[in-house]
Amino acid sequence: MKPEPESINQWFPSEQQDKYISRLIEQGQGHITRCQAKCYVRLRAYLLVKQQGKLGKEVKLPLKELSLPEGFVSCTHREAAALFYCDQKQGSERSAGMMLNKLCEIELIEKQFDGNTINIQVQYLPNLTTPPQPVESVKLKVDAFRHNDAIPVANFLSRLYRWINNDTAAVEYKIVKLLRDWVKQYPTGMRVLRRCDNSNPVGFYVLYPTAPESERNFFLPPSKALHLCSDSDIDPFQIAIPGKDDCTGVFFRSWRLDTPYLNRDNVRRFVEDTQKTLVQMQADFPNLCDLYLMIVHPVHSYIEVAVALGFQKIGEDPNAPVYWMYTSLDQFLSLDIKKALSKLEFAPPCAEL
């Protein structure tokens, strides 16, 4: 059986497709449509068998397990249209191209065009298939954020915002400037997970004490508070000054581990350090009581971790897959982190809490 795109339902049965489609929709927390999920699953399957065929490797059909294609694989709009719309009466190459662009926006795929050929790389997604092998074990330590950490941290943070702003260079530069400004204003709230062998940061968080006049932003649509990836130079959040402001709220402005280092032990260590940092912040802001975070991506976010730590959704956005989550400081500090994370499965997504 030759795996042609228009015959995908024969060599990748619909019941198998539905299994992966359902998982992806569940991961997307309602922000990925069934059509988008179906197109991603079909594209991933087709690129896999196409790549294996070109490498001369035998693929057992019908396909039952959805492995990950390695690197970029060519795919025309004609092939994509045949894949996406094989069971529909209508579906043009133009529509297929628009769907590919949408899958890029929400970071399910990456796409390159060299002037002649479209090449696509499928992104790995957590809990969809067997996770890839972990990176070689290295010693890590939690450490204070340093001025020269800004560039490597901005590099892995900027990936999260491609679906909002595809000018990655501009976003990365803006993040570098902001991180260096924030560490001058309140270094206590900025921490990294650092490799011991080369001192590179592979995790980062910033706990941002929010000035009283900025707290109303937590009750507005969250897209109005996006700043790291926006074109505006005006930050909707002002930082609270110790000894001056009566700060009650902390914004988890970023909390992220780089993809290869996302595992239970590293998450536990980083969350436990977050607890210790919040205790330190209480000395500067005695009335702290509220913790807020923003989920900024429908798939690549630590939603399950946030829920396990007691955060609950408090505000959605009608125009974007972003929303606020909240928990109290007392509740967060009382958690046994090891126990709270014990039931979660960790497979490495690109994520941010």
Q: What is the pLDDT of residues 282-302, one digit of tens each?
A: 999 999 999 999 887 655 457
pLDDT value of residue 169: 72
CA pair distance 225, 272, nearest whole angstrom: 27
Tracing tokens 């014990």 back to the chain, one arrives at 342
CA pair distance 214, 237, nearest whole angstrom: 5
Q: Evaluate whether residue 173 is within a structural domain.
A: yes
Query: Same domain, yes or no, for 195 and 331?
Result: yes
Query: Same domain, yes or no, for 195 and 103?
Result: no
Predicted confidence band at 29 (pLDDT cuts at 50, 70, 90)? Answer: very low
CATH number of the domain that residue 156 is part of: 3.40.630.30
Share of the chain above pLDDT 90, in %: 52
Q: Could you read off the pLDDT of 135-165 as tens digits, one per residue? A: 557 899 999 999 999 999 988 787 666 555 5
pLDDT value of residue 113: 86
CA pair distance 325, 206, nearest whole angstrom: 16
Query: Same domain, yes or no, for 105 and 172?
Result: no
pLDDT at 101 over 70: yes
pLDDT value of residue 333: 98
Nearest 5°: phi and psi at 11? -95, -10
More confident residue, 42 or 125: 42
CA pair distance 11, 42, nearest whole angstrom: 11
**Residue from 38, 45, 84 nearest 68 by CA:** 45
pLDDT value of residue 6: 93
Q: Evaluate whether residue 127 is within a structural domain.
A: no
Please compute the mean of the pLDDT values over residues 8-29 and round it to a whole number. Answer: 82
pLDDT value of residue 200: 93
Query: Same domain, yes or no, for 281 and 193?
Result: yes
Query: Same domain, yes or no, for 315 and 234?
Result: yes
Q: Are 103 and 36 in contact (CB under 8 A)?
A: yes
pLDDT value of residue 320: 66
Q: Evaluate whether residue 129 is within a structural domain.
A: no
Query: Same domain, yes or no, for 246 and 162?
Result: yes
Q: Could you read off the pLDDT of 287-340 as tens digits, one per residue? A: 999 999 988 765 545 788 899 999 999 977 776 667 899 999 999 999 999 999
Number of domains in the chain: 2
Predicted confidence band at 218 (pLDDT cuts at 50, 70, 90)? Answer: very high
pTM over 0.85: no
Q: Evaluate whether residue 130 is within a structural domain.
A: no
pLDDT value of residue 282: 96
Query: Same domain, yes or no, for 178 and 205?
Result: yes
CATH number of the domain that residue 71 is part of: 1.10.10
pLDDT value of residue 32: 77
CA pair distance 100, 258, nearest whole angstrom: 26
217-to-51, 148, 225, 228 alpha-carbon distances in Å: 48, 30, 7, 15
Query: Same domain, yes or no, for 71 and 195?
Result: no
Query: Same domain, yes or no, for 165 and 83?
Result: no
Query: Same domain, yes or no, for 197 and 61?
Result: no
SS3 276: helix
**Residue from 307, 309, 306 nearest 334 by CA:** 309
Predicted confidence band at 262 (pLDDT cuts at 50, 70, 90)? Answer: confident
Q: Evaluate whether residue 161 is within a structural domain.
A: yes
Domain that holds residue 216: 140-341
Of the candidates 122, 152, 168, which is a domain's last residue?
122
pLDDT at 349 over 70: no
Q: Evaluate whether residue 67 is within a structural domain.
A: yes
Angle between helices 77-84 and 93-105 (to 10 degrees): 90
Of the candidates 122, 154, 169, which is a domain's last residue?
122
pLDDT value of residue 231: 62
pLDDT value of residue 292: 96
pLDDT value of residue 235: 85
Q: Evaluate whether residue 348 is within a structural domain.
A: no
Query: Same domain, yes or no, for 181 and 209?
Result: yes
Q: Evaluate whether residue 350 is within a structural domain.
A: no
Predicted confidence band at 50 (pLDDT cuts at 50, 70, 90)? Answer: very high
Query: Same domain, yes or no, for 109 and 211?
Result: no
Of the candidates 54, 87, 122, which is a domain's last residue?
122
pLDDT value of residue 131: 44
